[in-house]
Amino acid sequence: MASLSLSSRSDTPLSGQPRPGQTTAKEPWLSVRNLRLGYADKIIVPNMALDFEPARIHCLIGPNGCGKSTLLRALAGLTAPQAGEVLLDGRAVNRWPRRRLARHLAMLPQHPQAPEGLSVEQLVRYGRFPHQRLFAPLGEQDHAQVRWAIRVTGLAGYEGRPLSALSGGERQRAWIALCLAQQADLLILDEPTTYLDLGHQLEILELLQALNREQGLTVIMALHDLNQAAQVGHRLVVMRSGQLVQAGPPAEVLTERLLADVFRIRARIIDDTPVAHGDALTSAAPYFVPLSSLTPPTL
């Protein structure tokens, strides 16, 4: 992918609109208080407190089954907490009117499904639902937002194509375009790069970075690749068996000790990133090379 820029967006309805997050940069506006999550008797997240920062990329990492998806669903108001609350602008997300919440918060689950034959443009138009009145057709602003979402996700020219005819990376970008058409300030993604090849993984991550940089979009996503998480995320949130282990900038969080404790791997941290500065994904993030598992096979 060539250089990444959203700067030609001056003709779009988004430009110049202040994002709520930017005005209150220091205030944690999405926060988790005494949160307990689970189903019936099975408690998945026993007790969690956590603040998210506006206009930042948060990467949620942790081993399989540690409760990442459950937490993300709770952040999006899809699961009611057993105790405690998820507050967005001081109000519990599951007490927001759904439509109004949808104008602030978009979420892309891990395996979204679309009816057969749905085209890219038809899908992205659904993103205007929270802005539409009951019988009103899409207005000029809706169409502009849909066009913008399709363009920045690199899908211009693909509007009429059915999702099933797209490659995995293109399809994932179409789903992100749906979220962007929603015009939300906060985007939650559950492992958006899973099942994509490395090139398409970087494409998705660079797109999210660009949206964060140019639009002030807040991103909270679960990622499996720890090096990618460290490179992309302003903050890493580490979970293990439903507990918050640590949250902070990658340089503080990603240590050989943590990799051993949480992921059960022996790894060597390389302090200066091996990637040349100026590249899209480069940051002052630590980079590590995994050496071996700490739980070797016993045959």
Partner 1 sequence: MNLSPHAAMPASARTAGNTPTKDRLGLVVALLLGLVLLAALANLLFGAVLLSPSRVWLALIGASDFAAGTPAVGDPIAQDIVWNLRLPRLLVGALIGAHFAIAGTLLQAVMRNPLADSGVMGINAGASFAAVLAFATVERLAGDGNPYLKAALSLDWLPLIAFGGGLIAAAAVYRLSWNRGSTPVRLVLCGIAVAGLLNALATGILAGWAQANTETVLAWLSGSLYGRDWTHLTALLPWTAAGLVLLPLLVRGANLLQLGDDVAATLGLGVERSRFALLLVAVLLAASAVGIVGPVGFVGLIVAHVARLVVGPKLKRQLLVSPLCGALLVLVSDLLGRLVLVPAELPIGVVTSLLGVPFFLALLARRF
Residues forming the site for partner 1 (CB under 8 A):
1-6, 73, 76-78, 98-103, 105-109, 112-119, 121-123, 126-127, 129-130, 132, 134-135, 151-161, 178, 182, 207, 210
Nearest to 36 by CA among 77, 78, 71, 5: 71
Q: Shortest Cβ distance from residue 244 to partner 1 (Å)?
A: 23
- Whether residue 28 contacts residue 51, with contact meaning beta carbons closer than 8 Å, is answered with yes
CB of 6 or CB of 265, closer to partner 1: 6
Q: How far apart are CA 86 and CA 92, in angstroms?
A: 5
Kindly tell me which of 11 and 271 has the beta carbon lying closer to partner 1.
11
21: alpha, beta or left, given left = phi > 0 and alpha = psi -120 to 50? alpha
Task: Give least dist CB 26 to partner 1, A.
Answer: 27
In the complex, least distance from residue 138 CB atom to partner 1, rounded to whole angstroms? 11
Q: What is the distance between the alpha carbons of residues 73 and 120, in angstroms, rounded to a whole number?
A: 25
Sorted by sequence, the CB contacts under 8 Å of residue 217 that are 6+ apart come out as 19, 55, 185, 186, 187, 208, 211
Shorter beta-carbon distance to partner 1: residue 32 or 102: 102
Cα–Cα distances in Å, from 123 out to 12, 178, 181, 254?
20, 6, 10, 38
- Cβ proximity of 33 and 87 under 8 Å: yes
3-state helix, strand, coil in the chain (%, to 5): 35, 25, 40
How far apart are the C-alpha atoms of 213 and 9, rounded to whole Å? 13
Query: Among residues 157 and 248, whose Cβ is nearest to partner 1?
Result: 157
Nearer CB in complex with partner 1: 147/267 = 147
| CA 25 – CA 56 distance, rounded (Å) | 10
User: Rounded to the nearest whole angstrom, what is the least distance from the CB of residue 167 to partner 1 in the complex?
Assistant: 14
Q: Which is nearer to partner 1, 36 or 151 (CB)?
A: 151
Q: What whole-number distance in Å separates Cα of residue 146 and Cα of residue 82?
A: 37
Residue number, 175 or 287, with CB nearest to partner 1: 175
Q: Which is nearer to partner 1, 114 or 265 (CB)?
A: 114
Give CA–CA dist 237/217, Å, rounded.
18
Distance of CA 240 to the CA centre of its chain: 19
